[in-house]
Chain A
Amino acid sequence: MSLIANVKVRHNNFALDVQLDIDPGETVAILGPNGAGKTTLLRALAGLVPIEGRVELAGQVLEDSALRLRVPTEERHIGLVFQDHVLFPHLSVLDNVAFGLQAQRRPEARQIARGWLERAGLAEKGSSMPRELSGGQAQRVALLRTLATDPRLLLLDEPLSALDVTIRAEVRRELSRQLASFGGVRLIVTHDPLEAIALADRLVVLENGRVVQSGTPEEVTARPRSRFVADLAGVNLLRGKGRGDHVELAGASIAAPDAGDGDVFAVIHPRAVALYLSRPEGTPRNVWHGEVEDIDLHGDRVRVRVKSPVPLVAEVTPAAVRDLRLHAGARVWVAFKATEVSVYPA
Chain B
Amino acid sequence: MSQVRIPAALIALAGLGLLFFLLPLAGLIVRAPWDQAVAGITAPETVTALGLSLFCSVAATGIALVLGIPLAVVLSRNTGNLRGVMRALTTLPMVLPPVVGGVALLLAFGRRGLVGSLLDQAFGIQIPFTTAAAVMAETFVAMPFLVIAVEGGLRSLDPRYEEAARALGAKGWMVFARVTLPLLRPAIFSGAVLCWARALGEFGATITFAGNFPGRTQTVPIAVYVALETRPDSAIVLSLILLAVSVAILVGMRDRWLGAL
Chain A residues near B (Cβ < 8 Å): 46, 48, 72-80, 82, 86, 88-91, 99-100, 102-104, 145-146, 149
**In the complex, are the beta carbons of B168 and A99 less than 8 A apart?**
yes
**In the complex, are the beta carbons of B160 and A100 less than 8 A apart?**
no
**In the complex, are the beta carbons of B160 and A74 less than 8 A apart?**
no
**In the complex, are the beta carbons of B169 and A149 less than 8 A apart?**
yes
Contact of A82 among B164, B174, B179 (CB under 8 A): B164
By beta carbon, the residue of chain B nearest A99 is: B168
* A86 proximity list for chain B (CB < 8 A): 158, 160-161, 163-164
> 19 more A-B contacts (CB under 8 A) besides A78-B167, A99-B178, A103-B174?
A46-B163, A46-B167, A48-B167, A73-B163, A74-B166, A74-B168, A74-B171, A75-B169, A76-B167, A80-B164, A86-B158, A86-B161, A88-B161, A99-B170, A103-B165, A103-B171, A146-B167, A149-B168, A149-B169
* B80 proximity list for chain A (CB < 8 A): none
* B160 proximity list for chain A (CB < 8 A): 82, 86
**In the complex, are the beta carbons of B169 and A90 less than 8 A apart?**
no
- 0/1 string, B147-183, CB within 8 A of A gives 1: 0000000000010110111111111001000110011
* A80 proximity list for chain B (CB < 8 A): 163-164, 167
Contact of A104 among B166, B169, B179 (CB under 8 A): B169
* A78 proximity list for chain B (CB < 8 A): 167
**Considering residues B161, B169, B174, which has the most beta carbons from chain A within 10 angstroms of its beta carbon?**
B169
**In the complex, are the beta carbons of B170 and A103 less than 8 A apart?**
yes
* B185 proximity list for chain A (CB < 8 A): 90
* A79 proximity list for chain B (CB < 8 A): 167
Contact of B168 among A89, A90, A103 (CB under 8 A): A103
* Interface residues of B, dominant DSSP: helix
By beta carbon, the residue of chain B nearest A146 is: B168
Known contacts A48-B163, A80-B164, A86-B161: does B179 contact A100 (CB below 8 Å)? no
A-B contact pairs, 11 of them (CB 8 A): A46-B163, A72-B166, A74-B170, A76-B167, A77-B169, A78-B167, A80-B167, A86-B158, A86-B163, A88-B161, A103-B170
* A48 proximity list for chain B (CB < 8 A): 163, 166-167
How many A-B contacts are there with CB distance less than 8 Å? 61
Number of interface residues of B (CB under 8 A): 18
Known contacts A74-B171, A82-B160, A103-B171: does B179 contact A88 (CB below 8 Å)? yes
* B169 proximity list for chain A (CB < 8 A): 74-75, 77, 100, 103-104, 149
Cα(A50)–Cα(B170), bound, Å = 19
* A145 proximity list for chain B (CB < 8 A): 168
**In the complex, are the beta carbons of A73 and B179 less than 8 A apart?**
no
By beta carbon, the residue of chain A nearest B168 is: A100
Cα(A344)–Cα(B89), bound, Å = 67
Pairs of residues from A and B, 3 with the lowest C-beta to C-beta distance, nearest first: A100-B168, A80-B167, A103-B169
Cα(A46)–Cα(B160), bound, Å = 12
Cα(A78)–Cα(B164), bound, Å = 11
By beta carbon, the residue of chain A nearest B170 is: A103
**In the complex, are the beta carbons of B166 and A73 less than 8 A apart?**
yes
* A103 proximity list for chain B (CB < 8 A): 165, 168-171, 174
By beta carbon, the residue of chain B nearest A142 is: B164
Within 8 A of A (CB), among B174-222: 174, 178-179, 182-183, 185
Nearest CB of A to B157, in Å: 11
Nearest CB of A to B177, in Å: 11
Cα(A275)–Cα(B167), bound, Å = 56
By beta carbon, the residue of chain A nearest B163 is: A48
Cα(A77)–Cα(B166), bound, Å = 10
Cα(A138)–Cα(B236), bound, Å = 58
Cα(A149)–Cα(B165), bound, Å = 12
Known contacts A82-B160, A86-B160, A90-B182: does B167 contact A99 (CB below 8 Å)? no
Nearest CB of A to B169, in Å: 4
By beta carbon, the residue of chain A nearest B175 is: A74
